[in-house]
Amino acid sequence: MPTKENEKYDLVEGALAHCWIKETNPQNAYAKAEFFVSKSDWKITKVEEYPIEVNESNFLGKDLRTENYLKAKSDGLSIAYVGWSRDGKTTTGPFQLKQSFEFPISEYIDNQKKLSQRGRCLHYENGHRCNEIIKAHSIQKNQSLSAIAQNGHVYKISSEIGSLKKNKGRLTYKKYGVNKVSTFLGFCKKHDNELFEPIDNDLLKPTDQQVLLYSYRSLCRELFVSENALELTKNQLEKGITQEAIKNMLSGYVTGKSFGLENLKRHKSCYDKSLLNKSYSNIKYVIFQSSQKPVIAFSGLFYPDFDFLGRELQNLGDQTQDLQLITFCSTPMKNGWAYLFAWHKTSSKVCVDFMRSLATMIYNNKSSLSDHLFRLAMTNCENLAISPKWWEKLNKDIKEKIADRATSMADIFAVTEQSYLMEGLEGISDWEFENVITNMD
Ligand SMILES: [Zn+2]
């Protein structure tokens, strides 16, 4: 049924929407179709048919359908409406619709920029002396970012809305100056220098203190970014969004993000306490050491939902439970680099199972450790820089596969598949790890 805002409201009593959606599974396709139909000012009263897989041969001899199929293939989706009139005498269509509401994208971007430039010190002893907020690197700069850079530049996911539009929603990688990568205004100069001295000016030995600091930095950066994202969306909602579908989507986002942020704050207070009391051994870690030259540098974290064997570890949708957290990053070591997983001991229940599943996967299936670690970084970390030398040598096909992986991670309509850490992006990294260091029980 058309809503009052629908441009066909006076003419049309109802319509059937035919949706062609480019997706990897029916749930995601349905979620997308539902959103885009609602966004075009319709109230969905009934679903005639749930998503089925189609290819071009399904539409042979049907020009309009083939056209829609091809449009979806290039743009991601195509929707055609066939309506019936209020007097019940005629049908109209297929037609496509203008929406009553245009999202104020430039206002949104301005606001986003303002928020990201609002510095604040996240140090556990922050206070009135934190007056000189600096651009702090969340990825180790001296030996990690600089080790992969070429003329001071690295590749990272493009943050420009324009390029997202141009590439039909697919994320792309773009070259940036090292100082534009991984920095955030999350510490004052004094605290940043003092606190991170053991990791900024020294290679990972590792000591518990160093690991705790790496993990803390990932956490603080995520907290900074999440607070901004949440405030941005809340501001937008407060300014008033007349379109129900968009309002619902943003409200859903706010609910999920608030829950994630509450959990981040709880984790940060555990880290704060451990740092304040110098109880560095509260950090648990697994380090994979490689003597090769690194080709990517990253720092991130996530709430492990499924493990490497596809088993559920915690239900991220259950807001009555506290979420357990793991951080991971690349670090420079004496003879090469390391892939470091770390967690506060209060998250050991989930994180130990998570790390054990990786060991089991490697041992039982003889699958490659480097594939698993590469896949995890590319899927769960947007704060990641790539060596231009390495990236520019990859063929187009592989670059697209990597971009698709990152896109699926950012897609709000996508349901995480239980097996998402089990397969994908095989044979790309060619990493070799000679050594594992851990203080896990
Ligand atoms: Zn400070």
Q: CA dihedral in degrees (342, 345, 346, 350; nearest 10)?
A: 60
What's the gap in Å between 188 CA and the centre of ligand 1?
4
What's the gap in Å between 339 CA and the centre of ligand 1?
28
What's the gap in Å between 270 CA and the centre of ligand 1?
18
Which residues are found with C-beta within 5 Å of the ion, ligand 1?
121, 123, 126, 130, 188, 191
What's the gap in Å between 177 CA and the centre of ligand 1?
26
What's the gap in Å between 139 CA and the centre of ligand 1?
19
What's the gap in Å between 201 CA and the centre of ligand 1?
19
pLDDT by residue, tens only, the chain of 441 residues: 999 889 889 889 999 999 999 988 898 899 889 999 998 899 999 999 999 999 999 998 888 899 999 999 888 889 999 999 888 788 877 877 777 777 777 787 788 888 889 999 999 999 999 999 999 999 988 788 999 999 999 999 987 777 777 777 788 999 999 988 999 999 999 999 999 999 999 999 999 999 999 999 999 999 999 999 999 999 989 988 878 888 888 999 999 999 999 999 999 999 999 999 999 999 999 999 999 999 999 999 999 999 999 999 999 999 999 999 999 999 999 999 999 999 999 999 999 999 999 999 999 877 899 999 999 999 999 999 999 999 999 999 999 999 999 988 887 777 888 999 999 999 999 899 999 999 997
What's the gap in Å between 146 CA and the centre of ligand 1?
26
What's the gap in Å between 275 CA and the centre of ligand 1?
14
- 3-class SS letters over the chain: CECCCCCCCCCEEEEEEEEEECCCCHHHHHHHHHHHHHHCCECCCCCCCCCCCCCHHHHCCCHHHHHHHHHHHHHCEEEEEEEEECCCCCEEEEECCCCCCCCCHHHHHHHHHHHHCCCCCCCCCCCCCCCCEEEEECCCHHHHHHHHCECCEEEEECCCHHHHHHCCCCCCEEEEEHHHCCEEEEEEHHHHHHHHHHHHCCCECCCHHHHHHHHHHHHHHHHHHHHHHHHHHHHHHHCCCCCHHHHHHHHHHHHHHHHHHHHHHHHHHHHHHHHHCCCHHHEEEEEEEECCCCCEEEEEEECCCECCCCCECCCCCCCCCCCCCEEEEEEEECCEEEEEEEEEHHHHHHHHHHHHHHHHHHHHHCCCHHHHHHHHHHHHCCCEEECHHHHCCCCHHHHHHHHHHHHHHHCCCCCCCCCCCCCCCCCCCCCCCCEEEECCC
pLDDT of residue 408: 83
For 394, counting Cβ atoms within 10 Å of its Cβ (0-12 exposed, 13-18 middle, 19+ buried), the class is middle
What's the gap in Å between 199 CA and the centre of ligand 1?
18
Instruction: Identify whether 26 is preceded by a cis peptide bond (ω within 30 of 0).
Output: no
Q: Which residue has the tokens 């390029």?
A: 163
Angle between helices 396-410 and 369-380 (to 10 degrees): 50
**Measuring CA to CA, which residue among 195, 194, 148, 159 is closest to residue 332?**
148
What's the gap in Å between 350 CA and the centre of ligand 1?
32
What's the gap in Å between 285 CA and the centre of ligand 1?
27
- Residue 1 in tokens: 């049924």
Angle between helices 189-200 and 208-238 (to 10 degrees): 140
What's the gap in Å between 135 CA and the centre of ligand 1?
12
What's the gap in Å between 120 CA and the centre of ligand 1?
8
pLDDT of residue 33: 92
- Residues with Cβ < 8 Å from 332, sequence gap 6 or more? 140, 142, 143, 144, 147, 203, 204, 294, 338
What's the gap in Å between 266 CA and the centre of ligand 1?
20
What's the gap in Å between 269 CA and the centre of ligand 1?
16
